[in-house]
A and B are shown apart, each in its own frame.
Chain A
């Protein structure tokens, strides 16, 4: 079975501080990994994705993530957050054998002034 675990349900942080949102996955086959952001009462917007190649991927809004196969992790980072980054963040995996995205429970990032 495949699964995604987001290790923190909430992450409070001050504006301009760095942040890391943690994601671990479980799969017996190769996967693609994604981070999505969701603002209140909105759909999901793709931040970044790892398909293959370089393990450090850069996304929109200054976010980046590192794929670590040995640790089965795909943590999301941003060196300096803004108030506007306050949102729910979802890690997800896709495997061709399952033909669908499997999501973690989400991490609520709250940026305080």
Chain B
């Protein structure tokens, strides 16, 4: 297993454009998390899935943001009508609840720059 994979690693987009990021979790992990990290800050929780069900969304996840995990495997995070304030690193993590959640494994992140 190669761990959590995120694509793309970097994205530069113009304000107002839509962007979509993909996350492939560790294959046997049923939980998948999205976090956002701005410069000089710790990661902030956005949302998480258990299998295909989105169980929690942060207040940070405005209506321009949508996340899906259609078959309980990979997930996508879409941002519509991007704003400069959306510039950040978007991190994906996965974990397993088989023996209780004891660790989350993170991907390398997607760095979004909105110009």
Using a CB–CB distance below 8 Å, which chain A residues touch chain B? 4, 6, 32, 34, 36, 41-46, 49, 51, 90, 92, 94, 96, 99-106
Contact = CB atoms under 8 A, between A and B. Distances in A.
Interface of B: 4, 6, 33, 40-45, 48, 55-56, 91, 93, 100-109, 111
Contact of B43 (A6, A45, A96, A103): A103
A65 to B, nearest CB: 15
Given A4-B42, A41-B111, A105-B40, 9 more contacts: A32-B102, A44-B91, A46-B103, A49-B103, A92-B42, A99-B55, A100-B33, A101-B104, A103-B42
8 contacts: A43-B6, A43-B91, A44-B106, A90-B43, A99-B48, A100-B33, A101-B45, A105-B42
Contacts of A106: 40-42
B16 to A, nearest CB: 26
Query: Main SS of the interface on chain A?
Result: strand
B102 A51 contact: yes
A94 B42 contact: no
A25 B56 CA distance: 23
A43 B102 contact: no
A65 B107 CA distance: 24
B42 A99 contact: no
A34 B108 CA distance: 18
Contacts of A99: 48, 55-56, 101
A94 B45 contact: no
A106 B48 CA distance: 22
Most buried by B among A45, A49, A100, A104: A100
A102 B45 contact: yes
A51 B111 CA distance: 31
Contacts of B55: 99
Contacts of B41: 105-106
A73 to B, nearest CB: 17
A38 to B, nearest CB: 9
B107 A43 contact: yes
